[in-house]
Amino acid sequence: MKEITEAEMLHKAAAYCSAAERCRQDVEKKIVAAGLSREAADRILDRMERERFIDEARFCRSFVNDKLRYNKWGRVRLKYELRMRNIPEDTISDALDAIDETLYLDTLRTVIKEKRRTIKGSDSRDVFGKLLRFAAGRGFENELVVKCLREYGDDEEMDRESDY
């Protein structure tokens, strides 16, 4: 296999970042997989950050926006996924704080309504629990999920549910 030079890898990494927003860790994995030394990888990454091919804050905003809109993820899951990419906490907080609350609640309501059509339960309490677990698995905060479930509860028992 032909060994790749640092200049070639810089060009490939720049093309990789031009196609979509990437975080430092994503680009670093590609460079290391290509077989470059740690020092060469650091030089490439530092240059790409100086030239703004890599921008963690921009990546964070884009990631949060896309995953909320298309994957319908909540803040808990978004925060977890960004932490897994070694994004600084303050950058994560800024991106999560920028979420439009109306869009966020509309997304949660949509997730609940869509899942509610497919859920089968022995009673309203069972359905409530299943919907709560489903939305929590998507990364939505339990308090918001309970609030939305009560808002759409068409059964008195579901409205009175307070154990969750």
Tokens coding 91: 């950058």
Residue 112 in tokens: 């609940």
* Residues 6+ positions from 141 with CB-CB distance below 8 Å: 74, 75, 76
**Given a cut of 80, is residue 37 above it in pLDDT?**
yes
pLDDT at 16: 95
Asked whether residue 158 carries a pLDDT value surpassing 70, the answer given is no
Q: Which of 49-53, 147-151, 152-156 has the lowest mean pLDDT?
A: 152-156
What is the per-residue pLDDT across 1-10, written as a single tens digit (0 to 9) for each? 578 899 999 9
User: CA-CA distance, 45 to 91, in Å (whole number)?
Assistant: 18
- Please tell me the predicted confidence (pLDDT) of residue 122: 86
Say whether 89 sits in a helix, a strand or coil: helix
The pair of three-digit structure tokens given for residue 132, joined into one six-digit string: 């709560």
Quote the pTM value. Answer: 0.86
CA distances from 127 to 74, 103, 138 (A): 20, 25, 17
**159, pLDDT greater than 70:** no
Contact 48, 13 (CB under 8 A): yes
82, 26 in Cβ contact below 8 A? Answer: no
Q: What is the mean pLDDT of residues 146-159?
A: 67
Tell me how far apart the alpha carbons of residues 132 and 103 are, in angstroms, rounded to a whole number. Answer: 19
Size of the chain in residues? 164
Position 121 scores a pLDDT of 84
> DSSP labels for 41-87?
HHHHHHHHHHTTS--HHHHHHHHHHHIIIII---HHHHHHHHHHTT-
- Dmax over CA atoms of the chain, in Å, equals 69
